A and B are shown apart, each in its own frame.
Chain A
Amino acid sequence: MKLNGEQYHDRVTAWLTGFAIFWSLLGMASGVYVAAELVWPTIDFGHEWLSYGRLRNLHTNTVIFGFGISALMATAFYSVQRTCHVPLFAPRLAWFCALGWQAGMLGGGISLLAGWNGGKEYAELEWPFDIAIAVIWISFAIVFFGTIAKRRIQPIYVSNWFYGALIIVVAMLHIVNSLAIPVTWSKSYSLFAGTQDAVVQWWYGHNAVGFLLTGGFLGMLYYFLPKHADRPIWSYRLSIIAFWAFTYSYIWAGPHHLHYNAVPEWVQSLGMVMSLVLLAPSWATLVNGVMTVAGAWEKLRTDPALKFIVLSLAFYGLATFEGPMMAIKSVNVVSHFTDWTIGHVHSGALGWNALITFGTFYFLLPRLVGAELYSTRLANWHFWLALAGVMLYVLAMWGAGVSQGLLWLSLDEIGELSYSFKDIMASMKPYYALRMVAGFTFFAGAVLMAFNLWMTAKGRRIVCIAPPPPVREGA
């Protein structure tokens, strides 16, 4: 049924889904390649664009900002319309935002390979891209909050709080952390120096993880999990408590990246305590998610999309438990600077972010084009490849990280170092080889998904869906 001829703008979501899949494949492929370079260091063939340092930046940026943000924009645009019962506000601006982001990521990715590098981790893009990102981000905010402002149902649904926090907090972090004086198009100097720069950077870095990879994807969870499971969120009150506690406490935890570094003791201690506090809202959401699925378990047998989402919840729980543990100074003294950190990040990025996105795409795309998924069998294969990949990855990095951490600190009975750095590094080879295989396994699963979704959507048009007719308040 149509109302005033208006309908949801879903084409932009479909395109963003496609872009997200493209970035996930590129990001994972470059990830597997840099993993291989740690096993065979000469496969960059002496070419600077294939050099580990530059290619690794391409990997992190395409995965986090190409794949992650495209997927979040796609799902935010899709869900905000349906939770507000109105089409997108300023649909042309939504297209500008979607396409502008892709252009920025493409140009940014090339600039990273060319050696443009601001030097701050996960904020490597140089100032012209920083400005472009800020402009596109503001247009994202206008479309999103504009849609909310013209909504036809009064309460703003939970998923929108999380997407809203993503937009607001990432804008704040990005703008402050990117403050710099430009010298040339490809070079700028940070407005902050030394210790102060470190504290600002990890306030940014940790909360980009917090509000993008955790908060943003929780928005996805709060909309798509109940949809999948066909049940309402278990506890609305718990979601309120979890949201505000999350928004308040995440922002403090950054200094756990700087334990025993040259930053004031009180900053480190506060960072550690607040990281532990963070466990509560993280797991409150976990409980809410698990209890929402509870009672719909039988669907797991037939619905591969739901399987992905439930598994992603398990990894969310693991990663948000492991994080606070690693923020404890006496644990961090072992884990810091090691591959344990890399394992932790990937249990979050692969296990939580990628899996929930895959599950959402398997749900979303068939609905967008009004067709059944091309192959449930392939989706099941993908599920097991993804699970095997992420498990192997995390195990390899735990093995590597814990041994590095302990061996580096090991002293003999007269207080001399037990092992040279070189020997410890050389002993990492089997772990790095296993990690490469694990990454490739995960990547192979994603290729199956890309094929599966392509075959699902091929030759089909986006289904037109109109918002439900307005309901009068109190009626």
Chain B
Amino acid sequence: MKAFDLHRKLERHSGLLIFGILFVSAIGGLVQVLPTVLDARLVTPAPTALPYDPVALTGRDIYIRESCGTCHSQQVRPLLAEVRRYGPFSKAEEFAFDRPFLWGSKRTGPDLHRIAGKYSDAWHRIHLLNPRAVVPDSIMPAYPWLAERPADSGKNIQAKMRALRRLGHPYTDADIEAAPGALQGLTEVDALVAYLQGLGMPGPGGAP
């Protein structure tokens, strides 16, 4: 058969084999992933959306550090039961300032994309430091160290905002100038609560 004759060449020439593998495995990415990455509509923020303010951004990075996304998704699917349980389904334009995205793949705990405003700040603080104080059956870990650390212990909020500005997030010089002041006196748990209370809302990082 012709095809197998062709293969005799491939399997006798290591350079051809390498090229063949690279070519064949790249097609899927070129046809499927590349157009997605080039489609600007997918990362055009909603008109009312703003980039994360310094406090929410700090909170989000704590959320990433503690791998909250391992157990909590941030993606309400367009299904009746999910909209009932969590709120409006998630749309691409709401994630334009999310680097990386935090949609998650597992709900050991509930989805958090529409968590904003469902509980008070005080509830969140207690819940993060000792989940079983407010939800007796909870299997969430306690995060006592968040209350002990200042929110900007790394003193790098301005570096973070500048890095994000290079990626297109519309922070002004004044925003960056004022950032350390906004974090002054806050602990990590304050920043994390601020992030959660803005999730999926109009405004910082938020929904239309």
Contact = CB atoms under 8 A, between A and B. Distances in A.
A274 B80 CA distance: 28
B103 A261 contact: yes
A149 interface: yes
A198 B101 contact: yes
Contacts of B66: 51, 53-54, 115
Contact of A117 (B25, B39, B42, B64): B64
A119 B100 contact: yes
Contacts of B70: 52-53, 56-57, 121
Interface string B20-57: 01101111110111001101001100000000000000
B65 interface: yes
B110 to A, nearest CB: 5
A200 B167 CA distance: 17
A203 interface: yes
A191 B17 CA distance: 31
B2 interface: no
Nearest to A34: B70
A461 to B, nearest CB: 33
Given A190-B99, A194-B95, A196-B36, A338 B107 contact: yes
A189 B163 contact: yes
Contacts of B77: 260-261, 333, 336
B81 interface: yes
A194 B101 contact: yes
B81 A410 contact: yes
A450 B77 CA distance: 45
B175 interface: no
A1 interface: no
A57 B24 contact: no
B67 A117 contact: yes
**Of A257, A258, A337, which is in contact with the most chain B CB atoms at under 10 Å from its CB?**
A337
Contact of B36 (A195, A237, A432): A195
Interface stretch (B141-149, B177-185, B193-201): B141-149
A165 B25 contact: yes
Contacts of A258: 103
Interface string A238-267: 001000100111111011011011111001
B11 interface: yes
A46 B144 contact: yes
Contacts, number: 262
Contacts of B64: 117, 119
Chain A interface mostly: helix
B65 A115 contact: yes
Contacts of A267: 32, 36
B156 interface: yes
Given A201-B101, A248-B28, A422-B137, A193 B96 contact: yes
B99 A155 contact: no
B140 interface: yes
B78 interface: yes
A194 B73 CA distance: 14
Interface in B153-167: 154, 156, 159-160, 163-164, 166-167
A422 to B, nearest CB: 6
Interface stretch (A130-138, A179-187, A355-363, A387-395): A179-187
Contact of A155 (B12, B31, B101, B135): B12
Contacts of B81: 408-411, 417
A358 to B, nearest CB: 27
Contact of A417 (B31, B84, B103): B84
Interface string B99-133: 11111111111110000000000000000000110
Contact of A187 (B21, B37, B160): B160
A176 B92 CA distance: 21
Nearest to A169: B25
B105 A121 contact: yes
Interface stretch (A15-23, A35-43, A307-315): A35-43
Contacts of B7: 240
Contact of B92 (A183, A194, A270): A194
B38 to A, nearest CB: 9
Nearest to B109: A425
A11 interface: no
B98 interface: yes
Nearest to A192: B37
A284 to B, nearest CB: 15
B85 A155 contact: no
Contact of B106 (A118, A183, A342): A342
Interface string A312-337: 00000000000000000000010011
Contacts of A56: 67, 70
B137 A425 contact: yes
A56 B141 CA distance: 12
Contacts of B174: none
B105 A341 contact: yes
Contacts of A455: none
Contacts of B24: 244, 247-248
Interface string B62-90: 00111111110101011111101100001
**Of B25, B43, B71, B91, which is in contact with the most chain A CB atoms at under 10 Å from its CB?**
B25
**Of B99, B105, B141, which is in contact with the most chain A CB atoms at under 10 Å from its CB?**
B141
8 contacts: A56-B67, A195-B42, A196-B39, A200-B33, A251-B29, A263-B92, A274-B28, A411-B80
Give 6 nearest A-B pairs by CB, closest first: A194-B95, A53-B67, A251-B28, A260-B77, A252-B28, A119-B64
Interface of A: 37-39, 41-42, 44, 46, 48, 51-54, 56-57, 115-121, 124, 145, 148-149, 151, 154-156, 161, 164-165, 168-169, 172, 176, 181-184, 187-201, 203, 211, 237, 240, 244, 247-252, 254-255, 257-258, 260-264, 267, 270-271, 274, 333, 336-339, 341-342, 404, 408-411, 415-417, 421-422, 425-426, 432
Given A184-B154, A260-B77, A411-B80, 10 more contacts: A168-B18, A183-B159, A190-B99, A194-B94, A197-B99, A198-B95, A248-B24, A254-B33, A263-B42, A409-B79
